[in-house]
Amino acid sequence: SSSSTPPSVKYPRPSWFKVWAHAARPHTLTASIAPVIVGHAITVSSLLLPTEHHTSFSTLHLPSITLAWAAFACLIQLGTNLHNDYADFVKGADDEHRVGQPRATQKGWLTPSQTAYASAFCVSLALAIGYPLCIVPSTTSTVSESK
């Protein structure tokens, strides 16, 4: 019967690149990029408006800041996808009756350790990129200084 067919027969092991692409699920990256694009558009439009409240923010840095946020968001998404692949396998949620795209760990294409380490790597790299984005140099005086 077809229910006794091993999952590997239905889904033969793809190439190394495709295995990682299955695990990372790059088709989900649009959910990460969309808010970055919206934030960039709002920033650009607010910088184009004439106002006295603009800080000394350099528009020359805007593309690199936007790219850094995009990299951060994508790495968080990839790390989350990889962790989901790992956790669903460990908890038993992904089994041979799973419907949908094959999951790399469940199919045996990656070990749980490989998937977990890849997830941790993505989140660590996101932290390395994102932390400097959160450090904003102060260009205004504080309330206590103005008294």
Say yes or no to pLDDT of 54 above 80: no
Task: Give per-residue pLDDT as tens, 55-74.
Answer: 555 666 788 889 999 999 99
Gyration radius from the chain CA atoms: 22
pTM of the prediction? 0.74
Q: What is the pLDDT of residue 144?
A: 47
Q: What is the pLDDT of residue 56?
A: 55
Separation of CA 82 from chain center = 10
Q: At what angle do helices 30-48 and 62-91 cross, to 10 degrees?
A: 160
Lowest mean pLDDT: which of 15-19, 61-65, 86-90, 141-145?
A: 141-145
Please choose, from the candidates 4, 7, 13, 31, the residue with its C-alpha nearest in 3D space to the C-alpha of residue 89. Answer: 7
Q: How far apart are CA 102 and CA 96, in angstroms?
A: 10
